[in-house]
Amino acid sequence: MVAEALECLMQGETARGAFFACIRSDPVLALRVQPLASIYDTEPDLLRSLLLAAPVAAGAAQAAYAVRWRQSVGVAHLAQALAQRAGLPDAQAAWLAGLCHNLADYLNTAPTPAADHLIGLDADGWLADAVRFHAEPLTRGRAAHPLVRVTQLAYQLVARADAVDSVDVRAALSALQLGAGEAAQLLAESLAHGRQMAMRFGLAETLAVSTAASGFDRLAQLYAGQAAQSALHGHFRFADGPSQVFGRLRDSLQALFGIEQTCLFAPAADGLLRVNALMPAVPALNALAIPPDDGHSVLPRALARNAPQRFERGVADAALVDEQIARVLGVGGFLCQPLALADGQIGLLVAGDAPPEAGGAALWRFALAECADALNPRYPATPAGFVEKPESAPRATPGDDIPRERVRRAIHEVANPLTIMRNYVNLLSERLGTDSSVQRDLDIIGDEIERVARIVRGLTAADESTAAAPTQLELASVNAIVSELVRMALGTLLAPNKVTVQIDLNPDVPPLPLNKDLLKQVLFNLAKNAVEAMPTGGHLRFTTRLAEIDGQRRVEIEVADTGPGLPPDVVSHLFEPVATSKDGDHAGLGLAISRSLVERMHGQLTCRSTPEGTRFLIHLPTLQNGQTLLTTTRYGSM
């Protein structure tokens, strides 16, 4: 279920309907994600973080989860059908009430009743009542709100064998103007729907076999946590100002831990702890002022100890101000968490009904750390118009005005998602078996991840050393590199953009001592530029051949497209960092980087453009870096 939702999220706006249709099939996700429907387009990182951090039953726990889930979906479907037949105005509310009727079986909600998690989803509270009273005898609900009666009836029909023949069920059906035969038909349809959904999500009885949790399940949960951290980082990094940072913290805590009530206390000008406007709070809290030396309240204790403190209502000798905070927030207790503010002060985050495990959870600590980082950036943005450079450094070029520390930080941040992707590829390789085509695709993904990692490591090495490290050479087939690049790009770059491809490889092209990563990066850059030059589709051709240039034997690689060509003024500055004829976020660096990489291989990159298309030519010497003459090896066309 989570995997399908993630796939929909990756597809963007076109899969919005499928995404929320998938989410509405799980009680926990329905409650946590459905209220965030408005951010589907604007905050996909937060939704991805929520999905990746969702509790997933594995091994022995999966069989028990499957039983609970099948009951949830069965009651939801039947409650919706009963509501529609009875003419209730909101059948979707009946689905949600039925889906969440056993919410307590999924979440450790003590001491807060599970139904309280639905308060606020409807203005009058009938939805929460339906969950709270779903298991009460039908006779008690005879005059209750229709949503309560429908949920009670659906639960009885699904949970009790032969319930349709019982007197109380028939009386409840009659009150909704439904007969026993019609109810039996609806029940059969709901159970069939539940079986179909169970097969779809791998939760059918024949599939939910109790097995010991494997090492791969444990690794998958670990990697999912790391991926959620990466998504959280992306969620916070673009927050603009403290108010937006705290808004994103509030959204994150609600999505990841189901925390709906939060506020922030901080030392005020008079030295007392007062509610802070950075995080919107219930207005009544503005009347409270807590001395920082009040040893009874958990807020001053958390501040003094610089450690989270928990409060539960009803505890003897508890500070009355803590009781009042909980009452005003409408919660049974709260966690008070110290948090560094932008002005150097320590604030106190109050999280109502925080789960018992929240304070020690890795994602909780990570979310707070990201919030603190966003409030107190270690690498402030460079002021407009200012180019940071050491006094002894040469004058920066227009394309080289990013502060060095920001580059180092970016390089460091890239390493984490690369590790996550590499680990997921290893997991998939083990789980998907020996299918050769699948393993070949996974090998390509793994190789590309390693290539990006080597590029990042190369940037780090270049930053730490004034002399460039020698290029690592290996004897490689140019034809094989071109073939591999085309195979990799066919399904991800070319076909989706309606670009056909042709490869014409000369079998007499010899293997060369070169860096495969550099050549592959150049070819991909050129292919990407060609695709962007043909927005409505076209044809791309890769050719390899032998050529004589200035009396020397060279290997020539041609990349030619059928686009409209380039204007002469663009061609004359094509390999300069800022030259580009494309709009959007393209920085105009791709061709400049490509020429630089070709020159590192002791080659040349040139361009010839006409209205019929553009041709890029790469010329590589057959002798490089003092290598002895290579014996020509024949390679068949691929």
Same domain as 482, residue 449: no
Residue 333 lies in a domain: yes
At how many degrees (to 10) do helices 478-489 and 516-532 cross?
40
pLDDT tens digits for 161-173?
888 888 888 888 8
Same domain as 254, residue 184: no
Residue 457 lies in a domain: yes
pLDDT tens digits for 537-559?
999 999 999 998 888 889 999 99
202: nearest Cα among 31, 25, 12: 25
pTM confidence score? 0.45
Give the count of domains, the chain.
Answer: 4
Same domain as 415, residue 298: no
Same domain as 560, residue 519: yes
The pLDDT value recorded for residue 634 is: 33
Same domain as 552, residue 570: yes
Domain boundary among 431, 464, 497: 464
The pLDDT value recorded for residue 152 is: 93
Q: How far apart are CA 240 and CA 217, in angstroms?
A: 38
The pLDDT value recorded for residue 411 is: 62
pLDDT tens digits for 110-161?
566 778 777 777 778 898 899 999 999 998 988 899 999 999 999 999 988 8
Q: CATH number, domain at 567? A: 3.30.565.10
Residue 588 lies in a domain: yes
Residue 394 lies in a domain: no
Q: How far apart are CA 562 and CA 630, in angstroms?
A: 35
Same domain as 488, residue 446: no
Domain boundary among 200, 232, 250: 200
pLDDT tens digits for 264-286?
999 998 989 999 998 999 999 99
Q: CATH number, domain at 330? A: 3.30.450.40
Same domain as 478, residue 454: no
Strand 499-505 vs strand 538-549: parallel, antiparallel, or unpaired? parallel
For residue 321, give its domain range.
224-375
Q: Where residue 398 falls among pLDDT bands split at 50, 70, 90?
A: very low
CA-only gyration radius of the chain, Å:
31
Residue 636 lies in a domain: no
Same domain as 436, residue 343: no
122 SS3 class: coil
pLDDT tens digits for 38-91?
777 777 777 777 776 666 665 566 777 888 888 999 999 999 999 998 888 888
The pLDDT value recorded for residue 329 is: 94
At how many degrees (to 10) do helices 404-431 and 436-464 cross?
160
Alpha carbon of 289 to those of 280, 301, 313, 343: distances in Å? 17, 15, 19, 20
Q: Mean pLDDT for the chain?
A: 79
> 611 or 575, which is more confident?
611
Same domain as 414, residue 305: no
The pLDDT value recorded for residue 225 is: 65
Q: How far apart are CA 151 and CA 127, in angstroms?
A: 10
Taking the mean position of all CA atoms in its chain, how far away is CA 414? 15
Residue 46 lies in a domain: no
* pLDDT over 50 at 294, yes or no: yes
Same domain as 370, residue 228: yes
Burial 261-294 (b: 16+ CB within 10 A, else e): bbbbbbbeeeeebbbbebbebeeebeebebeeeb
Q: How far apart are CA 595 and CA 618, in angstroms?
A: 9
Query: What sign has the CA pseudo-torsion 430, 436, 442, 444?
Result: positive
Contact 275/265 with Cβ under 8 angstroms? yes
Q: Where residue 32 falls among pLDDT bands split at 50, 70, 90?
A: confident
250 SS3 class: helix
Residue 27 lies in a domain: no
| Lowest mean pLDDT across 220-224, 425-429, 444-448 | 220-224
What percent of the chain shows pLDDT beyond 70?
76
Residue 495 lies in a domain: yes
The pLDDT value recorded for residue 215 is: 44
Same domain as 513, residue 449: no
Q: How far apart are CA 577 and CA 399, in angstroms?
A: 6
* pLDDT over 50 at 388, yes or no: no
Same domain as 419, residue 508: no
* pLDDT over 80 at 2, yes or no: no
pLDDT tens digits for 186-244?
888 888 888 888 887 777 664 444 433 444 454 456 556 666 777 777 778 778 888 88
